[in-house]
Amino acid sequence: MKRNYSAFAEDIPPYSGPKAARETYTDLKQLSAIPRHIYMRPELQTPWLVPMLELLPPTSIGQLKEWGLSTVFVLARNYNKLVHVWESVTAMVELWHPQTNSFIFPEFEATILLEELEIMLGLPRYQRGEESTISYTVEQINSWSILAYITTKKNDLYSMTSGMHVHLLPIAQWITSQCKKKTTNYTAIAKAAAICICGVILFPESDGAISFGNLSIIDSISEGMKIGQAILGFLYAGLTSTALGGPFYGSVIALELWMGMHFQFRTAENPNTECKTILNHPLAYMGGRLHMSTRAWCKTAQVKGIQAWRQYLRSLAATDFDMSPRFMQGRMIHLPQRAGLALRLLGNGALVSYNPDRCHLQCGAARTVVPLL
């Protein structure tokens, strides 16, 4: 008998499948111009995410924090408040060079560094010298064996998987059911929640689903694995896919955090300055070194529309790009120690090159800009 979700269907809309109807042109033109990205299709977004997270028991939330997902959880909890400026993201993606894996500006190159990503997303960080201990085993992934920790009911497993993907909505429905029943499966609930929040914030793809490969990466978080390389590699692969005419995928939130810290926002010297733009930006929900209050100055507040963003970014000078943002001051940048380590970021089923030595570097007061010849 197929599982009946009627007990909690009133909170979460039923899964509509990958063939959900396209939105009208009027609706589409208000969203991203990035081809086939999930955010171009509102019917595939996640109205179920925040209501589900509000039901999580404190014990499960505590486990998410122990696994290094505190920042990801906060971003997911406030997901409905975020407003993405898709024109800026689209214009930024157009500057991506698939061979160097960097953004090409008029006077310099820049890329999202692994160290930046780990700090921005509050992830456990790699340490220098760990390179030789990092290994990846390529083997067939059994999604059911991973999901079995959550549920062993075949009907549930069938609803959660199809093809080579895992669907997030049925997992969220299972979490909602467990929370409403007040079960004590706290670790299972935490693992299921990790799949949902990481799938939305770190590994967004299409149709409300993640690949088996990314499921395996998320599952390794509870075992103490550091996943910064996989997240950055997935974003690199998505940027390259778009540059070559394919669909865009990867952590848009990570990209927006990076853009915000490097050239969009600055702390205002005037205490009476109030920036309302930042209230709906991912930076509004960051803590520690990335915390930025409304007493900020948005340098791009007057940039409106895709053409204006293209013009702004394609004329951005090195002096307008913060080479040493405060959250990276005093942090060590780990350049590859040998040639083989330049190929160290795992994308979605592929290895992508990592070239931090080609781009801007920030390490305390030291910085290097590679001029374009």
pLDDT of residue 43: 42
Task: Identify the bridge partners of residue 104 per DSSP, sorted by sequence position.
Answer: 109
d(CA 241, CA 250): 10
Per-residue pLDDT of the chain (373 residues; tens, 9 = 90+): 333 333 333 444 444 444 433 333 333 333 344 444 444 444 445 788 999 999 999 999 999 999 999 999 999 999 888 888 888 899 999 999 988 888 999 888 888 888 888 888 988 877 655 554 444 444 556 777 888 888 888 888 888 888 788 889 999 999 999 999 999 999 999 999 999 999 999 998 876 888 888 888 898 888 888 888 889 989 998 999 888 888 888 999 999 999 988 888 776 666 566 677 777 888 888 776 666 666 677 788 888 889 999 999 999 988 888 776 665 555 555 555 444 445 456 555 556 676 666 555 433 333 333 333 3
The residues that bridge with 297 in the sheet, in sequence order, are 266
Are the beta carbons of 61 and 16 closer than 8 angstroms? Answer: no
Read off the pTM. 0.78
In terms of Cα–Cα distance, which of 335, 360, 337 is closest to 111?
A: 360
Percent of the chain with pLDDT over 70: 65
Q: Residue 363 forms beta bridges with which residues?
A: 366
Residues 6 or more apart whose Cβ sits within 8 Å of residue 325: 261, 262, 362
* Domain residue ranges in the chain: 36-125+139-333+340-362
pLDDT at 289: 61
Distance, CA of 228 to CA of 222 (rounded, Å):
14
- SS3 sequence, the chain? CCCCCCCCCCCCCCCCCCCCCCCCHHHHCCCCCCCCCHHHCHHHCCCCHHHHHCCCCHHHHHHHHHCCCHHHHHHHHCHHHCCCCHHHHHHHHCCEECCCCEEECCCCEECCCHHHHHHHCCCCCCCCCCHHHCCCCCCCCCHHHHHCCCCCCHHHHHHHEECCEEEHHHHHHHHHHHHHCCCCCHHHHHHHHHHHHHHHHCCCCECCEEEHHHHHHHHHHHHCCCCHHHHHHHHHHHHHHHHCCCCCCCCHHHHHHHHHHHHHEEECCCCCCCCCHHHHCHHHHCCHHHCCCCCEEECCCCCCCHHHHHHHHHCCCHHHCCCCCHHHCCCCCCCCCCHHHHCCEECCCCEECCCHHHCCEEECCEEECCCCC
Interacting residues of 196 by C-beta distance below 8 A, sequence separation 6+ = 49, 52, 76, 168, 171, 172, 175
d(CA 16, CA 22): 12
Rg (CA), the chain: 21
